[in-house]
Chain A
Amino acid sequence: MSSDLRSLSAVDRLVHEPSRSIILAILDAVESADFLYLQRETGLTKGNLSVHLSKLEEAGYVNIEKTYRGKIPLTLCRMTAEGHKAFDVYRKQLKKFIENTKE
């Protein structure tokens, strides 16, 4: 196996899952986003999104704050420093693999 393929096999599987990588990509670009925004962007059901966010929170990649805006509940998601680092490493691994692959 080439080193590029080996680097791809070493990617963080938690980040590599498509829905979670989209969640992390969004949270990497902004300071915070709420559950409703992430749900609209990912197209996931509430239950599925909740499961993915829980996994990312358990890994320490995302910080979830449950609060209220007036009477409306608000679930705010923020990427942690660890999350930014993991996503950056993942992005570089993926980029390297794509650059070294013939179309």
Chain B
Amino acid sequence: MNDDLKDPQLRALQYWPIDGVSELLVGVIVLLAAIIYYVQESTPGSLLSKILGIASVILVCGVGFGGRWIIQRIKERTTYPRTGYVTYKSSWKNKGNVAIAIGVMALVFAFVVFTTLTDTKLIAWGPVVCGLFLGILMVQAGYRFGQPRFYFLAFLGLLIGAGLVVSGLRIELSLPLFFGLNGLFLLTSGSLTLWKYLRSNPIPPTEPPDEQ
């Protein structure tokens, strides 16, 4: 296809992460997951720990089913009045995305099962393994959306994971720290992107729309 037609198509797909809102939401979730995990590990068997266990399941399901809906609602207030409204086809229709998601989930599941069943010290490598999985997802996002900042976040995630493994911290501390730091970096990246986007795209003056 002619590049003149490919470019607007690519820009339309890259429009989704242009404002950093999706990173902000993912950052909040990762940070919440870190807090939940830390509190659970600090107070094993307590009522709070059990409540947080249920909360984490609700969080995962909520993000899985409603994450995109939440992002759309935020974008309706921030992005769409400035640069236009776009809705996307379900990414689950893309076989490549589905394959990557299933592959990463299968690897995470295999790692958790293996470390649980075999009393191995491999669990200490948890942060770097999580960094690798996060990195794969970030690189995929960077490639798909053409946003280099995702590559940087992937590198940062891997670096944090490796740093925590080298530091020799207990897994009960290193894993929440890994998610906490990554959550903070995602929040920072999302906030900066949103700030830059809002500054460079003021709301156009309202006028009677002649196309209506």
Q: Which residues of A contact B (CB under 8 A)?
A: 18, 21-22, 25-26, 28-42, 46-47, 49-50, 53, 66, 69, 72-76, 91, 94-95, 98
Task: Report the stretch among B21-29, B53-61, B84-92 that lies at the interface.
Answer: B84-92
Whether A33 pairs with B81 at a CB distance below 8 angstroms is: no
Q: Which of B2-10, B126-134, B190-198 contacts A (4 or more CB under 8 A)?
A: B2-10
| Residues 1 to 55 of chain B near chain A (Cβ within 8 Å) | 1-2, 4-6, 8-13, 15
A29 touches B12 (CB 8 A): yes
Q: Which residues of B contact A (CB under 8 A)?
A: 1-2, 4-6, 8-13, 15, 76, 80-81, 83-89, 204, 206, 209-212
Which single residue of chain A is at the shortest CB-CB distance from B207? Answer: A46
B209 to chain A: closest residue by CB: A73
Contact (Cβ within 8 A) B12 A26: yes
Are the C-beta atoms of B88 and A75 separated by less than 8 Å? no
Question: With A30-B89, A74-B85 in contact, is A22–B8 under 8 Å at CB?
Answer: yes
Q: Is the CB of A75 within 8 A of B209?
A: yes
Q: Which residue of B lies closest to A41 (CB)?
A: B8
A37–B80 alpha-carbon span in the complex (Å): 8
Residues of chain A with a CB closer than 8 A to B211's CB: 35, 46, 49-50, 53, 75
| Pairwise interchain contact B88-A31, C-beta atoms closer than 8 A | yes
Which of chain B's residues have a CB closer than 8 A to the CB of A42?
A: 8
Q: How far, in whole Å, are A69 and B84 apart by their CA atoms in the complex?
A: 12
Contacts A32-B86, A36-B83; is A73 near B212 (CB within 8 Å)? yes
A-chain residues with CB within 8 Å of residue B206 when the two chains form the complex: 72
Cβ-neighbour of A41 out of B12, B88, B89 (below 8 A):
B12
Across the interface, name the chain A residue whose C-beta is closest to B86: A33
Cβ of A22 and Cβ of B83 under 8 Å apart? Answer: no
CB distance from B164 to the nearest CB of A (A): 40
Q: Please, could you name 25 A-B residue pairs with CB atoms under 8 Å apart, sorted by A?
A: A25-B6, A25-B9, A26-B12, A30-B12, A30-B13, A30-B86, A31-B87, A32-B86, A32-B87, A33-B85, A34-B84, A34-B85, A37-B15, A37-B83, A37-B86, A41-B11, A46-B210, A47-B210, A49-B211, A50-B211, A53-B211, A66-B212, A69-B80, A72-B206, A91-B5
